[in-house]
Every structure is written in C-alpha cells, then in structure tokens.
Amino acid sequence: MTKRSIQNVLLINRTQTDGGFLVVRTRSSRMKRVEPLGLEYLAAILKRAGRHGTVLDEALDPDAVEDLPGTVARGSVDAVGFYTNDGITDTVVSDIKRLRAAGCELPILVGGPASSEPAPFLDAGADIAVIGEGEVTLLEVIQWLEGEREKITLRGVAWNEGGEVHFAPNQKLIEDLDTLPHPDRTHAGIWDYYDRWYPVARQPFTTAMMARGCPYRCTFCSSPFHWGKQVRTRSVESALDEMEYLVRERQARFVSFKDDIFGLKPNWLEAFCQGMIDRKIDLRWSCNFEPRSAQRDPERIVAMMRRAGCAAIVIGLQAVHPDTLREVSRRPSDPDYVDKLIQAGKRNGIMTVVELIFGLPKSTWDGDEMALSWAKQVKPHFAGIYSLIQIPGSPILQEYQHAEVSAHQENSQAREHARVASRKFHTDPRQLLEVARFVAKENPRWFLGIARDIPALLERVGVQLPA
C-alpha cells in the first residue's frame, strides 16, 4: 500500500437494518437515537495523538451517508473507518463496494463485533479489519499506513493477501481504562440523542461505559470474544469525574451505561453510588444487570442505587426453562434471583426491564410460553422479548453452522412468536395500569412527549400496523 499521511479519519456509524433493531427514517427511529460511543472513543484517541476523527452518524445525517462517495470526495479525508455489527454487515459491505466503484483509493478500515468474521468486508475492498478493542490498534494501523511500521508487527487485525484472509496475533487488552480519554462527543449537539422507550429517561441524554470484559460464557453472546474475559473496571474517581464532566460540559440529565454488566464488582458499585451521593451529581441513569447482581443484599444495594440516581435496571435473563438455561451456560436458579431484583427495584421506584430471547438452543414453544408466563407473574415494568440473533464471535453461531440445535429455530417463526408474546405482555390491562401509575409518579411529562409517537410505541410492543 502507498505510504500516505493520515491526519483525518472519517468514522462512519450506520443504523441497524435487521434483527428487530432500529432503522433510520422509520417510526422506531423517532423513539430512540443513541450515540456511537465506540467511535467517539476512537475520535478522542485520534485527537490526543494530534490527529482528527470525524464521526458521521447516519441517524444525524442520513443524506451524507446516502451520498457516501460524494461525502468522502468533498471532505478532507485521509482514511475511512466503519463500525460493524451483525445487523449492518450487508450495509457496510455495500458501502465499501460503492466507495471502491466510485474510484475511492483511500484506506478503508472496519471494526466492531462483526469484524471478527472479516472476509465479507475484505472481499468488498476494505484494507484492514480491526478485531477486538480498537483504540491502540487504530493508531498502530495508522503508523503502518504512514510507513512507520511493518505490517508483520500489527496486532488485532486481519487483511486479505493473495485471496486469503490473514490474521495477526491478538492485540493486548487495555489494562488500565483510566488511561483512555473521555469519548469525544463534540460531533453532536446535546439534544441530538434520546431514548423515549424509557419513560424515565430525560434529555440531554448520553451514554457511558465504566468497564469492559465479561467473565461469563453465555453461548449467545460475543462480549468475551470482543472485550476479553477479564473484567477491567475504571476507577471510581475516573467514573465520577466523567459524570461531573457530562453535567458541566454537556448539561446531561440522563446517562445510559453500556457496560455488559454494570457494577459486577460489588465494592466498586457501592463506592460509585456513594460517590454520586457525596458529590451531589444530579444525574439519572440506567444500567444492565446480570441475574445475580447485588445478590448479597439486593434490597440495600438497589436502595443505594436509587439514592445515587438510578432510574432503570435492565436484567438479561434470556430464558426461564432450566434445560434452556443450562444449554446456553446460564443457571437454572437465575429466574429466582431476577424476581428478587425486580421486586427490590419496584419497591424503590426503579423502572425494571427483563430481556428474554426466543429461539435459543434446546428451547421449545412451550419453553418460550413458560418465559412469558413467568414475566406476567413477576411483573417487571417492561419485557424486551427478542428472537435469537446469531452474533459473530458467539459460540452459538458455530452450533448453528454445524448442528441442528433446536426443533423450532426458524428465525422468522421465532421472531413472530416473540412479537406476539411482547404484545400479550404489554397490552395486559393490569400491566398497562401499573406502568401508567409508575410513569405518572416518576416522569409524567413522558406522556406529553410520547403522544405523536404512539404508532411507534405500539409497534414496539408487538402490535402490527399498516405500513
């Protein structure tokens, strides 16, 4: 590859197009727009290195992405980078082909979860696929592009050579997350992102990440492959400093934490909550929990989280039937722990959400109905019911490729079953009444803001509407 100076990298975030995710210019996209946190970290890393990363988010500027060859040609761009995942693989592949067909000779890089299977992107014309954490690897790839580094010394990348995909050794994980700069959010205004699915969410809305890595081995998940199995957590001081920064510089009122499992270390979680209270940081926030989070004393921990600003807890249960839970490397006792968390959350005025996956290995229609019945009995405020998505890097993808793992795994059937189950749960009159009372107490203004988005809300809970 020709040596060139790389000063400005265009970092492109495409919206989801499959698997029940949001699609730009749809009813659902008006309800939720979440910033591309990973690309914002890369932009910050480039800025600290004396370079520039321009984040182009399709949700904010769909016209610029639609005319991507023209956008690249008109801009002062030295390299192009795409975020990828399983929901946008085909879209990103198409974008790469469009750029190459238009005569774009700039280096094209891809990263994100789907880059763990890099062949489609490399075959389309990408030069490098970054696998795993990207902050260190991106700077090393730029050194190679500028002729300051040999390709053989690169780590955490794949490339196409002689018609074959070559994989470099894994990149070392970033041990101290405090060494990372705060994400560069300056590409967007403070009102550009929101999540109206959450009745407790407010604007200005933003996201943050406190830890990387997951010690669990859930077969449907690729997180350990992407972030590693070792849990690396930012210091409490670093976390609190960013919260103060978001309030001071971005006027944030709500933060959605994107950790796979927030507060996995109990002592860290308690110190973080106490710090939020002591520093009087005026923020509401939501987080993802694992079924056994706060298992030592859920009532006390959840109460402290509430005092620290926690407004919503999302718990990934995924299944209820013991055989299905064992098959995906979860524990048959998980539903009992989730029940306790939900009740503790509701007693403390925290919105509770349980996530379930239909179409898992060893599951049956009866098992999925069992999960729905459990949810209706336990009564979280909301239930995110999805069909299985085979994520690159997840163990389950290999099972699907090489074995018959379930009697009812047709994705279209599982997706329809999940839609019907969601409708049954959310349109139950008793459930509607409980949620209405909760929202009226916690954030009555949500009712006013949601009025024009009723069709999207109905679609979200599984009601089919005319196109």
Domains and CATH numbers, the chain: 8-167 (3.40.50.280), 189-460 (3.80.30.20)
Q: What is the per-residue pLDDT across 101-134, written as a single tens digit (0 to 9) for each?
A: 999 999 999 999 899 899 999 999 999 999 999 9
Closest CA to 49 of 9, 86, 83: 9
**C-alpha–C-alpha distance, residues 203 and 198, integer Å:** 11
Tally the residues of the chain. Answer: 467
More confident site: 413 or 108: 108
Q: What is the per-residue pLDDT across 12-31, written as a single tens digit (0 to 9) for each?
A: 999 875 444 333 445 556 68
Give me the chain's average pLDDT, please. Answer: 89
Phi, psi of 195 (to 5 degrees): -145, 95
Q: What is the per-residue pLDDT across 359-368, written as a single tens digit (0 to 9) for each?
A: 888 778 888 9
Q: 252 exposed, middle or buried (CB, 10 Å; 0-12, 13-18, 19+)?
A: buried
Q: What is the per-residue pLDDT across 309-328, written as a single tens digit (0 to 9) for each?
A: 999 999 999 999 999 899 88
257 three-state secondary structure:
strand
Q: What is the per-residue pLDDT across 148-199, written as a single tens digit (0 to 9) for each?
A: 999 999 999 999 998 899 999 999 999 999 999 999 999 999 999 999 888 9
R_g of the chain computed on alpha carbons: 22
